[in-house]
Amino acid sequence: MMPTPLDRRALLSGALAGAAALAARPTLARAAGPAELRVAQPWEFKTLELGEAGFTYSRAGITETLVASLPDGRIAPGLAQSWSVSDDGLQWRFRLRDAVFHDGTRLDAAAAKASFERLLPQSLYLKRAGIAAVEADGQDLVLKLDRPFGPLLSYLVDNSAALLAPGAFDGEGRVRAIIGTGPFKIGAAELPRSLALVRHEAYWGEKARVAAVRYDAVGNGDTRTNIAVAKDADIVFNLAAQGVGRAGSAGMTIERVIIPRTHILMLNCAKPQFAEAAVRRALSMALDREGIAAGVMRNKALAATQYLPPTLAEWHFADLAPLRQDVAAANALLDAAGWPRGADGIRAKGGVRFAGTVRTFANRPELPVIATAMQAQLRAIGFDLAISVGEAQAIYEAQKDGSLELGLSSRNLVIVPDPIGTIALDYAADSIAPGSTGTTNWRHDGLRQEVARYLAEADDRRRATARRAIAGIIHEELPIIPVTWYDQIVAVHPRVSGFVTDPLEQRYFLDRVAIAK
């Protein structure tokens, strides 16, 4: 028997209804209300482990640490209202403030101790501070160190060891929920894309001015630009430089601040082309940093005159001769170092061609473009640069197996507010750091001594001397050539007031933001 029209119709309408129901499901999710602050930023909330994604939760104002960094870089009280250190520098005592976790439990020394003991082993930097024991003493948390550690307060800002409530951990000690003390708590989560934050009414400090925040992860830079141009978010972080004009024309306020991140040219100092400091300086002099900063980064002020940007005032030294393009001087240095030009214009010495392949990656879209610009600039001093674009991790793997010639990468200098954390890893460690940002086959005992002196020193004056010595050696030796600094570009909706940029990117200070009615 042939099918009847009724049967087919029933089949078709069933299929249509099913598809429509499926398609309509996302509409069940809550749309942004007028009183909700809408934030778009690039980082997904991939895991609940603070050792991996802690920065996303601290920037959003969900988690807090014992001490906090202010936008000007100063260390301020956080969950510890005050602290003292013993004369030998081995015992730090922190008086905890009267704070309440998001689940209503009180922050006491026992809870802080439990959180510390669970998170410290997997923290990124704090675990390097030599904390041998954590003790609860009344409302005090006592940290006992196995050696004096000068920058401990900066390391305590490490958001991978933020304080979580006892209820945040499961029976096996894994983080099962982010229950912190910050001005916002997680109301609902659509991991890894979105968090709905609500104001923590029992917050110990000044309460957030907005009651709710829709905090979205938007990985694609062009999509973030579109969101800014359409004014579909109140604050859009990490706007691409190319989108500034369009977002500005649409009525968004543009905030730009140089942050402690440097795009770097890494050199394998075991290769004969890069073994001498004079040759590395010549390569540095060939670079037109202002051109790259203006043309690629769209901000001439980002031309790196030294490794550490002026945002890190204590680490940026006006008396260091700025790194500038000087092709004639670069050629003179290379001639003096015995690298004559061949018939094709490329230099060579003892059968070694003055050439190399730079490995870079496209996660940061500007890097391959910068590599192309450098290719032409280096040719002017007789260096033949080839470009290989792949994964960021390929740089580290080439460092390890010795095949790396050059690498173009990017370094966040303030995982903790004091850049000594990254400098110690990148310039003064025995093993290569897997972040693809450290020196390659370069060892400087003088620098190592200064780093060790700085880490052990509590006296500010002597620490300042060590800082200058460290910055000076990095500047003279150039085992890594700074190319450009980096600026955080934020598009802010005109209905938003009170927005603050934090150059250290520890917090986004969304609690200080208000929305006009």
Partner 1 sequence: MSASRSSIWPGGAAGTVLRIVASRLVQAVLTALVLASLCFSFVQALPGDAALRIAAARSGDDRVTAESVARVREQEGLDRPLLAQYASWIGRLAQGDLGHSLVSRQPVWRELAEHGRFTLGLGALGWLLSYAIALPLGIACGFRPGGWLDRGTNALAVALASMPSFLVGIGLISLFALTLRWLPPAGFRTGAHMVLPALTLALGLAAFSVRIIRNAVVEVRGAFYMTFARIRGRSAGSAFLHHGVRNAAIPVATFAALQFAYVVDGFVVVETLFNYPGLGDLLVKSLLARDVPMIMGAGMVVGLMYAAVNLLADLTCIGLDPRRLAGHGA
Query: How many residues make up the chain in this entry?
Result: 517
**According to CB under 8 A, which one of 98, 137, 170, 391 is a site residue for partner 1?**
391
Distance, in Å, from the CA atom of 413 to the CA atom of 507, rounded to the nearest integer, reads: 16
198 binds partner 1 (CB under 8 A): no
Helices 460-477 and 445-456, axial angle in degrees (round to 10): 160
**According to CB under 8 A, which one of 13, 242, 363, 403 is a site residue for partner 1?**
363
388 binds partner 1 (CB under 8 A): no
Residue 278: helix, strand or coil by DSSP? helix
Under rule CB under 8 A, which residues in 295-314 are in contact with partner 1?
none
416 binds partner 1 (CB under 8 A): no
β-pair type (91-96, 140-145)? antiparallel
Provide the 8-state DSSP code for 342: -
Q: How many CB atoms lie within 10 A of CB 246?
A: 15
170 binds partner 1 (CB under 8 A): no
β-pair type (212-217, 384-390)? unpaired
Choose between 136 and 433: whose C-beta lies nearer to partner 1.
433
**According to CB under 8 A, which one of 39, 51, 180, 496 is a site residue for partner 1?**
51
**According to CB under 8 A, which one of 23, 321, 343, 516 is a site residue for partner 1?**
23
| Those residues with Cβ within 8 angstroms of residue 185's Cβ, 6 or more apart along the chain or in another chain | 62, 102, 179, 197, 198, 199, 200
259 binds partner 1 (CB under 8 A): no
Residue 105: helix, strand or coil by DSSP? coil
Distance, in Å, from the CA atom of 38 to the CA atom of 513, rounded to the nearest integer, reads: 11
Under rule CB under 8 A, which residues in 320-359 are in contact with partner 1?
none
Question: Least distance to partner 1 from the beta carbon of 232, Å?
Answer: 5
Distance, in Å, from the CA atom of 82 to the CA atom of 222, rounded to the nearest integer, reads: 44
Stretch that binds partner 1, among 282-290, 330-338, 342-350, 431-439 (CB under 8 A): 431-439
Question: Least distance to partner 1 from the beta carbon of 1, Å?
Answer: 5
Which residues, in sequence order, are bridge partners of residue 92? 85, 143
Question: Least distance to partner 1 from the beta carbon of 432, Å?
Answer: 9
Q: How far is CA 316 from CA 162, 230, 309, 312, 474, in A?
A: 29, 39, 6, 6, 12
Choose between 81 and 226: whose C-beta lies nearer to partner 1.
226
- With tokens 């680490």, the residue in question is 315
- With tokens 């052990």, the residue in question is 456
**According to CB under 8 A, which one of 108, 140, 290, 397 is a site residue for partner 1?**
397
Stretch that binds partner 1, among 218-226, 316-324, 365-373, 465-473 (CB under 8 A): 218-226
240 binds partner 1 (CB under 8 A): no
Residues that bind partner 1 (CB under 8 A): 1-4, 7-8, 11, 16, 18-20, 22-27, 29-32, 43, 46-47, 49, 51-53, 55, 122, 124, 191-193, 216, 218-220, 222-223, 226-227, 229-230, 232, 250, 363, 391-394, 396-397, 411-412, 415, 431, 433-437
